[in-house]
Amino acid sequence: MLEAIYKEQRANGDRAIEALKKDFTTLRTGKVSVAILDHIFVDYYGSQTPLNQVATVLSTDAVTISITPWEKPMLKAIESAIAAANIGVNPTNDGESVKLFFPPMTLDQRQENAKKAKA
């Protein structure tokens, strides 16, 4: 009886820790991470598809993310999905890819992120 309860609680705890890890990957630290785009879905021929399944998503440097769609007509859909997600930056479309330029973090932003992580 107790062993079954322990096993169930262990499984619940593992799921909670995985969810917390996933939430922490979306927080921005000094270097920008492509995980910040994990919750963005794009309208791909009528179905909502994760961004990383319709495009190549790369972090080119510490403050830039480059998104290159596999099909050029997807540029507008990707750009509008990112704008609607309200992640704090405006997408820039150069005709072949969408680039996101994140400004360097200020002390206030770091403190705000620490508060979010603590919550």
- Check residue 34 and give its pLDDT: 81
> Which of 8-17, 52-61, 87-96, 103-112 comes out lowest in average pLDDT?
103-112
- Check residue 23 and give its pLDDT: 64
> Which of 6-10, 18-22, 27-31 comes out lowest in average pLDDT?
27-31
Instruction: Pick the closest to residue 83 from 69, 93, 73, 72 (CA basis).
Output: 93
pTM: 0.67
Q: How confident is the model at residue 26 (pLDDT cuts 50, 70, 90)?
A: low
Token pair 């769609």 in the structure block, residue: 69
More confident: 70 or 89: 70
List the strands of the sheet with 64-69, edge to edge: 55-61, 64-69, 98-101, 92-93
Res. 52: pLDDT tops 70? yes
Domains and CATH numbers, the chain: 29-104 (3.30.1360.40)
- Check residue 67 and give its pLDDT: 92
